[in-house]
A and B are shown apart, each in its own frame.
Chain A
Amino acid sequence: MSGRSTHHGPGAAGHEAHMDPTTAREAATLGIWTFLATEVLLFGGLFTAYVIFRIKYPQMFYEDHLELNRILGAVNTVVLICSSLTVALGIAAIRKGKVMLLRFYLFLTILLAATFLVIKYFEYMEDFSKGLYPSTDIFFSLYFMMTGLHAVHVTAGITALATMLVLAFRGRFSADYHTPVEVTGLYWHFVDLVWIYLLPLLYLVG
């Protein structure tokens, strides 16, 4: 129900000092889910465009989607699923206070995320070499926009994960306090979630 402000004045830095730890954690959870809600609507515009144009141009979607590299798409899906696992394992570790394991899993997650981007890079290079650009037609506009926006989010995720890794090395996290890691983890799972839909919509069902 209602949280509590502490009865003391503000802390030195003025941040969560004014909330007790339980309230701060619940607030962070609500905050990240709210942010993810905004991301659903952000990608949602692209999904809407996909639905509209797929109904309008079924033939174009069928022919064009065959140009995409289904295997690389599937590999990338596996990469992201593995990265979701590693970040989840990292959080399970820090819940038990195992900081070294947390660092290990965060590092693995970043590695996998970078792998995703590298594969995407090769895919895009392959597409460009075939003369397929965002301006080629509506399908490729959608393909580049959706995977491009997703890649931007992967990049932002890498930044967030790297920040968590640095903080983990500085000993900031413990079994009692690791909220930023949980928040980053939720964001990262969302990035995986979006790709889970992008794979079939773009690569598998023309």
Chain B
Amino acid sequence: MKPEHGGYGIYLMVWVALLILTGLTVAVSYVHLGMMNVVVALLIASAKASLVALFFMHLRYESRLVWGFALTPIFFLALIIAGTLSDTLFR
């Protein structure tokens, strides 16, 4: 059967959250936090990405199989970054 899914209401709430987070990340970028700038920016971006994936892309209501398909590439992305860094960082 069709999976459960969010309706208009959820989408609007997620949209508002995304706008707020966007404003937040732009505002924080004007504050000098050194290394923490990167960390905060990526955390906010990941929060936004999660909202898009979970609600707009229905991951929240999909099967474990679909979750597997969605999360596996992230692991391999981490792998290529880590493997390349293991060379470039330690030359």
Interface residues of A (CB under 8 A from B): 22, 25, 29-30, 33-34, 36-38, 40-41, 44-45, 47-48, 51-52, 55-56, 70, 74, 77-78, 81-82, 84-85, 88-89, 92, 95, 185-186, 189-190, 192-193, 196-197, 199-201, 203-205
Contact = CB atoms under 8 A, between A and B. Distances in A.
Contacts of B22: 74, 77-78, 81, 199
Main secondary structure of the interface of B (DSSP, over half): helix
Contacts, number: 117
A40 B45 contact: no
A92 B11 contact: yes
Contacts of A81: 15, 18-19, 22
A192 B52 contact: yes
Interface string B7-43: 1100110110011001001101100000001100110
Q: Which 9 A-B pairs have the closest CB atoms?
A: A200-B41, A204-B29, A40-B73, A37-B73, A33-B69, A44-B77, A85-B15, A88-B11, A81-B18
Contacts of A45: 80
Interface in B60-74: 62, 65-66, 69-70, 72-74
Contact of B26 (A38, A51, A70): A70
Contact of B29 (A34, A51, A200): A200
Contacts of B25: 199-200, 204
Given A30-B69, A85-B14, 8 more contacts: A41-B76, A48-B80, A51-B81, A52-B84, A55-B89, A77-B22, A92-B6, A92-B7
11 contacts: A40-B77, A44-B76, A45-B80, A48-B80, A55-B85, A92-B7, A192-B52, A199-B25, A203-B29, A204-B41, A205-B38
A78 B77 CA distance: 27
A92 B22 CA distance: 24
Nearest to B72: A37
